[in-house]
Structure 1
Amino acid sequence: MNFSSAEPNSIASAVARNFGSSGGVTARQLPFGRNRTHFLPGVAPVQQLIGANADTAVAVVGMSAYPMGVEITLEIRLRHGSGPGWEPTLPGGWAHAASMIVPFAVRFADGRTASSIPWPREFAWPAPGRDGVELAVSGREVSEPEAGPRAVVRFWLAPLPPPGPLTMLAAFPARGLPISETVVDAAVVRAAAERAVVLWPDGLVLPRPGVPPAGPEAATEQIRAAFTTVFTGGQGGSDPDAVAAATTAILAAIEGGEALRPLLERVRSGHPDIVRTARPSIDDIVFIDPGRAAVRFRVHLANGPDFGEQIGFAVLTDTAAGERTAWKVAARTYRKVVGWGGVY
């Protein structure tokens, strides 16, 4: 079936089947380990409408280019008072749903394509991560000004497009906007990438060491053990009792762990194959003060993307009596990692 000739209602039905409440997919997350913070990007002067109807508009409003790829900013506008018009069972609210209900895709001049999310098979739509081209969500923001709801979704595209036309496609079938496209000369993007400035050497930098705790060697071993427990997947195998015991141990190794149980359950159910293969490696540990440490670590996923090297934190927790007793993975570090899977 040719997507561009399909009726919007039939497209919306297919989207609801594929992205509804029955275990649908989520937008893929940017591999955050591919660090770009050491670059000041070159800005390509691109502001182009992809598609619009009476109450919906999708546009490219910015492109920030780097030697290794380009971040494309997509803006989605809804006319004030026109209603949401999206599948209400999608998780995460408008801020996260926007990147799922408004699929975005690119086509290079050499024919290579990629899409931010899978699309119903009956429609001619590029596959995610096809032909060595990566297109993934790298950021989101949402607001509801008086003029109407507005969502901004940023996508990381790598590598840089080859010379020739770069075609960008989007649709909002739930609001009657079929597949639409706009074309940018890739020369504009490539020229912007050449203007990118290296600010400092690449690599994540640990904080400066501070006053260590008493017994730093024992503290270091506790921190390594906590990170290993928390980020090792597949613990307990298929035995329910063993899984329950492993869950208890994982939550006990996280700051305020019991409150994070829903996140653990959601990331397990949403990404079972990826979570089962998770294996951490812990490199450097630096004590910021007697109760906090910074940790350089990585979570290896055999069935998932490479999120690269990370800086996380460990904290020395207190008992009910007020005594500091155990080093644990900081709650914000755990939230960051499960956030890779769209779980917040």
Structure 2
Amino acid sequence: MEGHWPYGEPDDELHRRIEPPENEIPVALPQNVLLARTDDVAVALLDLHVLSTGVSFHLTVRARAAALRRVDHRLTELVWNHGPRGGRFLLGVEFSDGRRGSSLPMGSSEGVLLHSRGGGGGETSVDQRWWLSPLPPEGPVRVVVRCPELGIEETSAELDGTAIRRAAEQVVELWPWEPEPPHREPPPPPDLPDDSWFARR
């Protein structure tokens, strides 16, 4: 039975792909890539880890303080999509078979998932964790970034999809995957005496 997820996949199948599987030990690949660099800003893809259902990586953005004084928004606002619509940071990927995923809402096609899993940052640096699923086919994987507000024109670099596929063969499965347990109902409130402060409404 199909659920209410996009792409028409069974619930369990998409549940398996929507986050990195916790029942696996990933394989790390030495594919750190400098995606974009200007005199004041740099964007890099680091810490590529391969699992059976996708790839996790870190995206790091570094900026000189002087450059940020020339824009109207903080670095964290631009990278976390709170800046101006035309100038905020965008990230996308394209597989060798043409399938695409991006950080834009509805910016992915044919079951490709690309989403941020949190991160942190300060005035001059931001680090984000990203998850891409499914595994790309063999061939180049194009990674595209854009952030006009930071002086980064649309630019791209490539990852090796063939190396990613080979690494996936070395992933260690600790035990069979299981869906997360269903959410339990919250416990009932404790019994309290009428004169308790916690009993006041």
TM-score by length of 2: 0.74
Q: Does 1:78 align with 2:57?
A: no
Deviations 1:158-191 (A, max 9, x none): 1111001111010121011101111111122122
In the aligned structure 2, how far is the partner of 1:183 from the partner of 1:35? 22
Between 1 and 2, higher relative CO (CA 8 Å, sep ≥ 6) is seen in 2
User: How far does residue 198 in structure 1 lie from its aligned partner after superposition?
Assistant: 1.6
Contact 2:20 2:131 in 1 (8 A): no
Show the counterpart of 1:236. Answer: none
Classify 1:314/1:112 alpha carbon distance in 2 versus 1 (closer, same or farther; 3 Å): same
CA radius of gyration, larger in:
1
Q: Does 1:314 align with 2:186?
A: yes
Show the counterpart of 1:98. Answer: 79
Aligned length: 177
For 1:132, give the aligned amino acid.
G
Classify 1:317/1:194 alpha carbon distance in 2 versus 1 (closer, same or farther; 3 Å): same
Other structure's SS at 1:132 match:
coil
5+ long unaligned stretches in structure 2: 1-14, 82-87
Q: Does 1:53 align with 2:32?
A: no
For 1:181, give the aligned amino acid.
S
User: How far does residue 78 in structure 1 lie from its aligned partner after superposition?
Assistant: 0.8
Q: Does 1:117 align with 2:104?
A: yes
**Greater helix percent: which structure?**
1
**Greater strand percent: which structure?**
2
- RMSD in angstroms over aligned alpha carbons? 3.1
5+ long unaligned stretches in structure 1: 1-30, 119-126, 207-295, 298-311, 326-344
Q: Does 1:202 align with 2:177?
A: yes
User: How far does residue 61 in structure 1 lie from its aligned partner after superposition?
Assistant: 1.1
User: How far does residue 81 in structure 1 lie from its aligned partner after superposition?
Assistant: 3.2
User: How far does residue 111 in structure 1 lie from its aligned partner after superposition?
Assistant: 1.5
**Following superposition of structure 1 onto structure 2, how do residues 38-187 of structure 1 map, counting pairs within 5 Å?**
38-83=23-68, 88=73, 95=76, 97-100=78-81, 101-118=88-105, 128-144=107-123, 149-187=124-162
In the aligned structure 1, how far is the partner of 2:45 from the partner of 2:196? 53
In the aligned structure 2, how far is the partner of 1:321 from the partner of 1:87? 54
TM-score by length of 1: 0.45
Question: Stretches of 4+ moved more than 2 A in 1?
Answer: 31-35, 84-88, 93-97, 199-206, 312-325
User: How far does residue 99 in structure 1 lie from its aligned partner after superposition?
Assistant: 3.6
User: How far does residue 82 in structure 1 lie from its aligned partner after superposition?
Assistant: 2.4
Classify 1:69/1:188 alpha carbon distance in 2 versus 1 (closer, same or farther; 3 Å): same
